[in-house]
Structures are given as structure tokens and as C-alpha cells.
Amino acid sequence: ELKVEQNPLFLSMQEGKNYTIYCNYSTTSDRLYWYRQDPGKSLESLFVLLSNGAVKQEGRLMASLDTKARLSTLHITAAVHDLSATYFCAVDIGRNNNDMRFGAGTRLTVKP
């Protein structure tokens, strides 16, 4: 059975600091997604990573994918309070858009 494991599950950090969230998965896939969810809100797509070595950056967030290690990282640079949210990674192992599984989520709190 596919396992998608995120760590840490909870992360409290100071503004201005850097940190990395990890997403490990247990089966072959070259399609990985990162989503953000604010409390009580829906999920917002952040990054789509489609190949080994893919790296994408948006503002203070950078995501990468290592398909050989079955690992994706979400790196936060110089965190600001507005980044406080829950971040989910999701792995697609389907052939026809039909098998995407989410990690448990990392709840990030950025303190001033």
C-alpha cells in the first residue's frame, strides 16, 4: 500500500528563519504536488513536480523532487507570518489521473 509520509507534522518557527518540510513516499512516481491549506479553507495548489530533479520556486517557497530517493522537499526561506498554514504533499501513482494520495500535512506556524 502506498504510504506518503510528511515530516515534521507540526512546525513552529520564527520569522526570518529557514526550514525544510520533507515528503517521503513508498512507491514509484514522478508526479508530486504541494498544496497549501489555511484554517477552515480549501486547498490551494502550490507546485507541480513532474520529473526527477524538478525544482520550482515561488516567492519564499521552493520545492524539489528526487524520484530515485522517493523524496520531495518544500524549503521555506526567511519565513513570514503569512506563510502560516498547513502544507500537504500528494503523490500520483495512477496512469490516468486516478490515484493521488495525500500526506498527513505539516502545520506550519510562523511567529513574529
Partner 1 sequence: DSGVTQTPKHLITATGQRVTLRCSPRSGDLSVYWYQQSLDQGLQFLIQYYNGEERAKGNILERFSAQQFPDLHSELNLSSLELGDSALYFCASSVRASSYNEQFFGPGTRLTVL
69 binds partner 1 (CB under 8 A): no
Residue from 31, 54, 67, 87 binding partner 1 (CB under 8 A): 31
**For residues 47 and 35, is the Cβ–Cβ distance under 8 A?**
no
Q: Which is nearer to partner 1, 79 or 108 (CB)?
A: 108
Task: Provide the minimum distance between the beta carbon of 10 and partner 1 in the complex, in angstroms, as a whole number.
Answer: 14
Burial 70-109 (b: 16+ CB within 10 A, else e): bebbbebbebeeebbbbbbbbbbbeeeeeebbebebbbbe
Q: Which is nearer to partner 1, 66 or 80 (CB)?
A: 66
Stretch touching partner 1 by CB under 8 A, among 11-19, 59-67, 76-84, 91-99: 91-99
Assigned C-alpha cell, 94: 495512477
**φ and ψ at 81, to 5 degrees?**
-55, -35
Nearest to 60, CA basis, from 19, 24, 23: 19
Residue from 13, 48, 62, 80 binding partner 1 (CB under 8 A): 48
Which chain residues interact with partner 1 by CB under 8 A?
A: 31, 33, 35, 41-45, 48, 50, 88, 92, 94, 96-102, 104-105
